[in-house]
Amino acid sequence: MKYALVTGGSRGIGKAICLKIAGAGYHVLINYRSNDQEAEDTLDQIQANGGSGELMKFDVSNSSEIKTELENWKSKNPEKHIEVLINNAGIRKDNLIMWMKEDEWRDVINTNLDSFYFITRQLVTDMLVNKYGRIVNVVSLSGIKGLPGQTNYSAAKGGVIAASKALAQEVAKKNVTVNCVAPGFIKTDMTKELDEKQLKQMIPMNRFGNPEEVANIVAFLASEKASYITGEVISVNGGLYT
């Protein structure tokens, strides 16, 4: 059995990624912060499709919680190692910078950027020792071109992109790849209050994407087939100009 950790696996894009990765034969550690019911639903769906997984509840912005949870898992499973890490959990708290409160800045940076460092540093050693690993970070169009009202979110996602490019070069010799997937507008809870009718006019495909359309490329980058791709950012945005 091979092991994968997906952060933010209870809803939206993360849920679709969990299902795809489980379908590829991985035992999926489904991380989430608070929504027990949706996390259980992800696990139920995996099991109904004949796959396997388990829940792993922790706050990705809390380094000590992460350390404790991952060390506990490792001590219960000393022979096993997590060879696929999908850093997907994220939040947005949009505001124009002149009105942006310090906690809106910090929460978004902590959850979207610091989490990359906290979790990746914990798992990368096993990947290097075993000379195999796949790290895929879910970023955003916002981290490539910047979006008004999202200086915090753009900074965090742009930071993950730069960090991924640096890490890709650190670990490439050990057969560990690090890539990013940058969604545009995807139908999830995160975008449910946006006006799709108006925003879709900017998108050449004239619609928002589905979580599965993001999960497909994440699963490919997380597979053995993507063995010579690293340090890349792949957009999934229906042709939205970046």
Q: Which residues form the interface with ligand NAP (CB under 6 A)?
A: 7-14, 31-35, 38, 59-61, 88-91, 111, 138, 140, 183, 185-186, 188-191
Q: In angstroms, rounded to a whole number, what is the distance separating the alpha carbons of residues 123 and 77?
A: 14
| Helix 151-171, helix 102-109: angle, nearest 10 | 30
Q: Nearer to ligand NAP by C-beta: 90 or 133? A: 90
Edge-to-edge strand order for the sheet containing 52-57? 52-57, 26-32, 2-6, 82-87, 133-138, 176-183, 233-236
Residue 28: what are its φ and ψ, rounded to 5°? -100, 125
Q: Nearer to ligand NAP by C-beta: 42 or 177? A: 42
- Non-local (6+) Cβ contacts of 218 within 8 A are 17, 20, 21, 86, 88, 136, 138, 181
Q: In angstroms, rounded to a whole number, what is the distance separating the alpha carbons of residues 233 and 235?
A: 7
3-class DSSP state of 101:
coil
Q: Find the shortest distance in angstroms from Cβ 195 to ligand NAP.
A: 13
Give the pairing type, strands 26-32 and 82-87: unpaired
Q: Nearer to ligand NAP by C-beta: 190 or 229? A: 190
Q: Find the shortest distance in angstroms from Cβ 79 to ligand NAP.
A: 27
Q: Find the shortest distance in angstroms from Cβ 125 to ligand NAP.
A: 22
Please pick, among 3, 26, 132, 153, the residue that the annotation labels catalytic. Answer: 153
Q: Nearer to ligand NAP by C-beta: 59 or 83? A: 59
Q: Nearer to ligand NAP by C-beta: 10 or 230? A: 10
Q: Please confirm, yes or no, whether 153 is among the known catalytic residues.
A: yes
- Among candidates 90, 154, 160, which has minimal Cα distance to 120? 160
Supply the residues annotated as catalytic: 153
